[in-house]
Amino acid sequence: MAESNEAKWYVIHTYSGYENKVKSDLEKMVENRKMQDLIVDINIPTETVTEVKEDKKREVERKIFPGYVLIKMVVTDDSWYVVRNTAGVTGFVGPASKPVPLTDKEVEALGVEKHSVEVEYKVGDNVKVTYGPFENTYGVVEEIDIKNSSVRVLLTVFGRQTPVEMDLDQIAMVD
């Protein structure tokens, strides 16, 4: 096995319906064998869906990829063996069950790693657009959506107040 000291995300295939059991079994094994430095995180991507049945709405959490579990690990003979021999795991996703790490772009698209974002401005602050089509335009922060990394700013466009959605890093405080 190629050894790298940096943990990467991999996809393991499980029997459908066994995802939560696989996750909890792996977490127990990691703890019992003190492998926290090799197996860093285990994730089952889910989404909250609103179901409407018989005129009743309810929020349901669904697995985005049934039968798959994401695991952040350093692949060594020991960590590979532990994952591969966990009940319910049928193997790693990759050619000939050889673990192939997800790219940074794939990890970002899956939303498994949350990057905390801190901004220096708040609703009502005067800001300047730092790049994009409205670069060097000034406005007022109307709404901040940390979860989606966006901010709505009221800009004056053609003499009218216009709300514009932007990335959090597209604006900066006005000195």
106 pLDDT more than 70: yes
**What Å distances lie between residue 20 and 33, 34, 67, 97, CA to CA?**
20, 21, 10, 21
Tally the domains of the chain.
2
User: What 8-state DSSP symbol labels residue 110?
Assistant: H
Is 117 domain-assigned? Answer: no
- Nearest CA among 69, 116, 62 for reference residue 90: 69
Average pLDDT, whole number, for the chain? Answer: 86
- Segments forming the whole domain that contains residue 83: 8-110
Which pLDDT score is estimated for 73?
A: 94
Residues 49 and 92 reside in one and the same domain:
yes
**Each residue's pLDDT tens digit, 51-91:** 777 778 788 888 888 999 999 999 999 999 999 999 999 99
Q: Which two tokens stand for residue 8?
A: 């990467």
CATH number of the domain enclosing 131: 2.30.30.30
Residues 80 and 22 reside in one and the same domain:
yes
Q: What residue type is assigned to position 60 of the chain?
A: V
Q: Identify whether the C-beta of residue 154 lies closer than 8 Å to the C-beta of residue 166.
A: no
CA 111 to chain centre: 2
Q: How far apart are CA 18 and CA 70, in angstroms?
A: 13
Residues 69 and 93 reside in one and the same domain:
yes
Which pLDDT score is estimated for 175?
A: 74
Residues 98 and 157 reside in one and the same domain:
no
Is 3 domain-assigned? Answer: no
Beta strands in the chain (DSSP E): 8-14, 39-43, 46-53, 56-63, 68-73, 89-92, 126-129, 138-145, 150-157, 160-167, 171-173
Which pLDDT score is estimated for 79?
A: 92
Q: From edge to edge, which strands make up the β-sheet containing 8-14?
A: 39-43, 68-73, 8-14, 89-92
End-to-end CA distance of the chain: 54
Tell me the pTM: 0.60
152 pLDDT more than 90: yes
